[in-house]
């Protein structure tokens, strides 16, 4: 009998238009769309599974599957602080326009505040673009799935 790997991808705003390619033992085995699931039939034994799109990927996950066993995995984006940093960046970028629209006087320390609001977001995005591109996607065992063995 064959074993199954079932990957459930959370519906997320980030990368919603991109399919995550699924690799099992370094061979492309399928893809999973935003908010969907993909079921892969594999031989029993040890398998290494990871996700990839573009040059971003997840850490490899090693699974040991017995006959007729199913493993449930969950896939999602790894950027946990995207929204707070994005909002902070937008406030920093548009704060000067907001002040001008309110007809407020130019405050001397506002440019420093703008820089302090924008720099963390830029560094966070650069971190995932350059250093943590192999951790951009998360692939984990779905312990909350009631069918997980």
Same domain, 14 and 74: yes
Q: For residue range 107-132, what is the model confidence (pLDDT) as tens digits?
A: 777 778 888 888 888 888 888 888 88
In-domain check, residue 11: yes
In-domain check, residue 16: yes
In-domain check, residue 148: no
Number of domains within the chain: 2
In-domain check, residue 146: no
Q: For residue range 65-99, what is the model confidence (pLDDT) as tens digits?
A: 888 888 899 998 888 877 788 888 888 888 777 77
Closest by CA to 23, choosing from 55, 43, 48, 59, is 48
Domain range for residue 126?
82-130
Closest by CA to 51, choosing from 24, 72, 71, 70, is 24
In-domain check, residue 147: no
Same domain, 8 and 61: yes
pTM of the model: 0.77
Specify the CATH number for the domain of residue 30.
2.60.40.1120
């Amino acid at each position: 009998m064959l074993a199954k790997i079932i990957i459930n991808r959370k519906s997320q705003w980030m990368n919603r238009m991109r399919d995550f390619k699924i690799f099992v033992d370094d061979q492309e085995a399928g893809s999973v769309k935003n908010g969907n699931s993909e079921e892969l039939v594999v031989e029993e034994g040890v398998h290494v599974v990871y996700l990839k799109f573009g040059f971003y990927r997840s850490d490899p996950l090693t699974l040991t599957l017995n006959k007729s066993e199913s493993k449930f995995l969950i896939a999602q984006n790894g950027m946990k602080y995207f929204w707070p940093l994005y909002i902070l960046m937008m406030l920093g970028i548009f704060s000067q326009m907001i002040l001008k629209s309110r007809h407020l006087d130019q405050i001397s320390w506002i440019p420093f505040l703008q820089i302090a609001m924008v720099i963390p977001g830029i560094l966070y995005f650069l971190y995932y673009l350059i250093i943590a591109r192999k951790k951009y996607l998360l692939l984990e065992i779905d312990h909350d799935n009631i069918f997980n063995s």
